Amino acid sequence: MVRRLVPLAKVRVGPAPADESRPYDPTMPGTWREPHRDVKIPFEQALEEWSEVSVPILVEVAGTYGGYITYSELASRLNRATGIHTGQLLSNWSGKLLNRVIHLCRENGLPARSALVVHASDGTVGKGFDEVFRASNRNVPHTEIERERAAAAERLECYRVYCSTIPADAEPQLTRQYEARVNPRKKDTSRTNKVCPLHGIQLPATGFCDDCT
């Protein structure tokens, strides 16, 4: 008896094909308002509410001379104030939020409060700050230091509007982290140790050369 071999069915390797009949969900990867995490809200709604709440937060920051806030700190305060959270990475939506703040400030004739928001790692406002120049039809800075100096000048204008204790001779200041990177402090070499003129060795605390005694 001869058995006929039946070819095996081909097995698909890898992810299953996308279901084109499945409706597109604009709220993905997940934006919600606590405590209803399973109820998604449109991300545009989140941006709208965050931009409104960010105004008083940044005004508060500008109320302290030399003050600024990090992106992550701002995000945490927005989450607490609105209850809205998102599964998106902060780097994917913070620029969209601050762009709204930039245009809101410009429409009201106010300095760009986005200059008060910096990266925790290096104290810079980052390339997203270039929107300030585009919104006012100015040339975008060519270098990082030019951008950060412009942001420092914008922060000073914020302090002048919202801070009541700003010094009369106040000048634009880079953030502490960025200042330390671009202008590192040099070691004080003004105080030199005495050296024995005969043997050329450093004198001990007694002031007398051990080889001479």
pLDDT of 188: 47
Residue 59 covered by a domain: yes
What is the C-alpha R_g of the chain? 29
Alpha-carbon separation of residue 209 from 107, 191, 193, 197, 201 (angstroms): 74, 19, 13, 9, 8
Residue 17 covered by a domain: no
Q: Is 40 helix (H, G, I), strand (E, B) or coil?
A: strand
Residue 23 covered by a domain: no
- Give 178's contacts (C-beta < 8 A, 6+ positions apart): 122, 123, 124, 148
In the chain, the number of structural domains is: 1
Residue 18 covered by a domain: no
pLDDT of 82: 96
> Tokens 């399973």 correspond to what residue?
38
Residue 5 covered by a domain: no
pLDDT of 18: 36
Cis ω for the linkage preceding 35 (within 30 of 0): yes
Segments in 63-203 forming alpha helices (H): 71-82, 90-107, 131-135, 144-162, 176-182
Q: Which helix (DSSP H) or strand (DSSP E) does residue 51 occupy? A: helix 43-62
Percent above pLDDT 90 for the chain? 67
**Which residue segment(s) compose the domain that 173 sits in?**
31-182
Positive/negative CA dihedral, 128, 132, 137, 139? negative
pLDDT of 192: 57
Between helices 71-82 and 90-107, what is the axis angle to 10°? 80
pLDDT of 196: 66
Q: CA-CA distance, 98 to 102, in Å (whole number)?
A: 6
- Give 41's contacts (C-beta < 8 A, 6+ positions apart): 27, 31, 32, 33, 84
Residue 46 covered by a domain: yes
pTM equals 0.72
pLDDT tens for the chain, residues 1 to 213: 444 433 433 333 333 333 333 344 444 468 999 999 888 999 999 999 999 999 999 999 999 999 999 999 999 999 999 999 999 999 999 999 999 999 989 899 999 999 999 999 999 999 999 999 999 899 999 999 999 999 999 999 999 999 999 999 999 999 999 999 998 875 544 455 676 666 556 767 677 666 666
Report how far Cα 2 is from the mean position of its chain's Cα atoms: 75
